[in-house]
Structure 1
Amino acid sequence: MAFIGAALISQEAYVEIKVLRRHGKSLREIAKEVGCSVNTVRRHLEVSEKPRYERQVKRERKLAVYESYLRLRQESAKPLWIPATVLYREIKARGYMGGMSQLRGFLRSLKPSQTEEPVIRYETMAGDQMQVDWVEFRKVKDPLYAFCATLGYSRASYVEFVSDMKIETLIRCHQNAFEALGGVVKQVLYDNMKTVVIERDAYGVLVAI
């Protein structure tokens, strides 16, 4: 079971949320398919990083006394950006005893966040295309994979959890997907699946098994 905030859902539902989001589903669409609230979906998607360990007593960083100077230098240089190597020499001459990595980390915090580009959805006709890919969760002990198939027109998805990615498993998953989705599409797109692609031509179509 996975616990996020006040919601308790199964591990399968947790995995399904991740998979559906990867295939372009909105929060509302995911919540409807999984059977939970939009807030629960949002919390699951937000919790993607492992908790970081922090010392109880934080030591003062060697760069702390130079941060005001660095901010002022970058502000005065706008719209240009002063490289870390240049500023490193400057604060080194002023007595800085720390390393370059600490300086680079601080300078990254000064850079304005870039606006994400809008997602452009590729539209196809009904029955034309289906996108297929593997999602890998565990490799070594008790391997777990997910076969994911998404229709290009309706964005309807079929997900099946399996223990291997063999060609026999792939064929069976295709058959199950076609049966669940109610028909066979004209074209299936693969994203460099090792089970399918043996060679790729940069100027032509992929060579598949």
Structure 2
Amino acid sequence: MLQKEQWMQVHVLKAQGLSLREIARRLGVSRNTVTRYLASQDVPRYKQREPRPSKLDQFQAYILERMQAAWPETIAAPALLRELRALGYEGQLRSIQAFMKAHKPVPAPDPLVRFETEPERQMQCDFVVFRRGADPLYAFTATLGFSRWRWARFATNEKAETLIACHHALFETLGGVPCEILYDNAKTIVLERDAYGKGEHRWHPGLLDLAKRYGFMPRLCQPYRARTKGKVERFHRYLRGNFYVPLSSWLKQSGMVLDVDTANAEVGKWLRDVANQRVHPVTGAPPATLLEERERDTLRSLPAFATQLWVTTPVGRPSAPSAISLQHPLSVYQQLLTEVHA
């Protein structure tokens, strides 16, 4: 069958003065086909062929009934072939297999159940990747389950020491500690799921020590079920679209790349003035308001050692001064960012 492009080529070659024989030779079609397409001013439409009768037609209802009865298990096609042979089927196994594949029941998606928690009960934490390669950029993020209060700290890696430093900064900013924190299954979090039995995991020693010192219980979401920590996952999309993309694109127009120092210098103000002041569509209130009115007083107090920590920005290069990671003098960034906020 000639495609639209071939039909166009017939008309173009004819307009160039080629003979019917030459057009047919170049396109690999018959001269009658060339003549027919030249006579048509639009792409010819072929009528759909009527489906041919199949030896399987009279047994289709039986197959569907057997498939439905076996669901959610799958009945084997050879087993159905034996049953159909007894009923008089004379066709081939592959016909049954093709029919079963085309009519395989589609499981209904799991109902979306929004899991709400009481104040101070749970926080969800995760890393999100913004840039890989020679100049990577990540962010460690947190969302409180009740108030939806958000927090983020940018870094250049996802190492265990960065994870721990981010927790120190998170708890210092929040001024308290939730009862439990929900994580994904990264190696910096858990070394082996269910190592000692169902729900008894072998945690990363750094996280285990951190949880003990601050007094929170680490929890794991189900593998390959990111929506079990959907609150922080939704924050990732919001952080990317409303903070990272606008800021990085503005710097890109000036020939610069957003680095970790600049990102951290700006994200705190954005969290305070934008993300945590925006009315949340589920709670109907700004996260900062719910945190102050309903949740902050219920958080566990910071342990004594935490008030003595000096938390630095986890940029992944602790031996280098933060200023050298800037591609231009700091005044250049400050001027550009002032223009962004103007």
TM-score, L = length of structure 1: 0.47
Larger radius of gyration: 2
Normalising by structure 2, report the TM-score.
0.32
Q: Report which structure shows greater RCO (CA 8 Å, sep ≥6).
A: 2
Which of the two has greater strand per residue?
A: 1
Greater per-residue helix proportion:
2
